[in-house]
């Protein structure tokens, strides 16, 4: 004889789910089974900010040239010093200058972000570069091609997007995003990716699907890493125009 099976009342189902600590959307083990789900991170963290970055395919590099971001190391903050010397002064120790000018002639990069080494800086024959954390070519392909010149100039000279690093490491990076390149110094990777996220969020740049996954993978290991803030305004003063 067949047994008649009756459905539980909705209220009973809800009560059962409450007792077991699960919800209808939960997968095995009571975790969110939604594809691609990642931890949201704490408010103000870089991990939380990753979720807010728009995802699109990489755009074309057509039309890109360095001078589309203005002349190199423009004094956009109006302090009388070029941006390169500003960053050298900020990141190097024991700096010396040319007379009473801003020009940094020597110094030491201690604990290089990309390699962890110590590098002596000597103007004119240096193994120290100033790196755009978000490469300008990468930015061009992910939104900057559509910007007004003053915004591109601002990005190229924003201290938030600039750090002094070992030259060969910088050149191996080229214009790679987080999916293509990370510093060999693993202790700096969280800070590095957090700064990339901060720059892209500040300027409204998008990321590719692979890039976002790479960023999330790094920041999953340091969910409390704070999102850096500060830097210059997102538009250079009116006196600056791209050539």
Sequence spans of domains, the chain: 7-37, 39-220
The predicted-structure confidence for 177-227, as pLDDT tens digits, reads as follows 999 999 999 999 999 999 999 999 999 999 999 999 999 999 999 999 999
Indicate if the pLDDT at residue 7 is higher than 60: no
Instruction: State the pLDDT at residue 158.
Output: 98
The predicted-structure confidence for 81-111, as pLDDT tens digits, reads as follows 999 999 999 999 999 999 999 999 999 999 9
How would DSSP label each residue in 64-123? --GGGG-STT--TT-SSS-HHHHHHHHH-EEEEESTTSS-EEEEEE-S-TTT---EEEET
Instruction: State the pLDDT at residue 41.
Output: 77
| Cβ 70 vs Cβ 240: under 8 Å | yes
Predicted confidence band at 31 (pLDDT cuts at 50, 70, 90)?
very low
Backbone angles phi, psi at 14, to 5 degrees: -60, -40
Indicate if the pLDDT at residue 118 is higher than 70: yes
| Cβ 121 vs Cβ 108: under 8 Å | yes
Instruction: State the pLDDT at residue 241.
Output: 73
The predicted-structure confidence for 56-74, as pLDDT tens digits, reads as follows 999 999 999 999 999 999 9
What pTM does this model have? 0.83
């Amino acid at each position: 004889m067949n047994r008649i099976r009756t459905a539980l009342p909705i209220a009973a189902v809800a009560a059962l789910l409450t007792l077991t600590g699960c919800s209808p959307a939960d997968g095995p083990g009571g975790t969110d089974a939604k594809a691609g789900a990642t931890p949201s991170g704490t408010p103000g963290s870089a991990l939380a900010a990753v979720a807010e970055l728009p995802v699109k395919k990489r755009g074309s590099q057509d039309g890109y040239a360095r001078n589309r971001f203005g002349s190199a190391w423009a004094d956009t903050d109006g302090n009388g010093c070029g941006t390169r010397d500003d960053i050298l002064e900020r990141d190097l120790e024991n700096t010396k200058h040319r007379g009473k000018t801003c020009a940094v002639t020597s110094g030491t990069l201690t604990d290089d972000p990309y390699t962890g080494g110590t590098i002596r800086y000597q103007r004119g024959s240096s193994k120290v570069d100033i790196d755009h954390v978000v490469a300008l070519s990468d930015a061009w392909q992910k939104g900057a091609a559509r910007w007004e010149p003053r915004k591109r100039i601002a990005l190229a000279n924003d201290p938030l997007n600039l750090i002094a690093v070992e030259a060969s490491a910088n050149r191996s990076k080229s214009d790679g995003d987080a999916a293509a390149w990370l510093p060999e110094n693993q202790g700096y990777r969280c800070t590095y990716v957090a700064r990339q996220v901060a720059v892209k969020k500040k300027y409204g740049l998008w990321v590719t699907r692979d890039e976002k996954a790479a960023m999330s993978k790094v920041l999953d290991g340091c969910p409390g890493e704070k999102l850096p803030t500060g830097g210059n305004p997102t538009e250079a003063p009116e006196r600056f125009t791209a050539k």
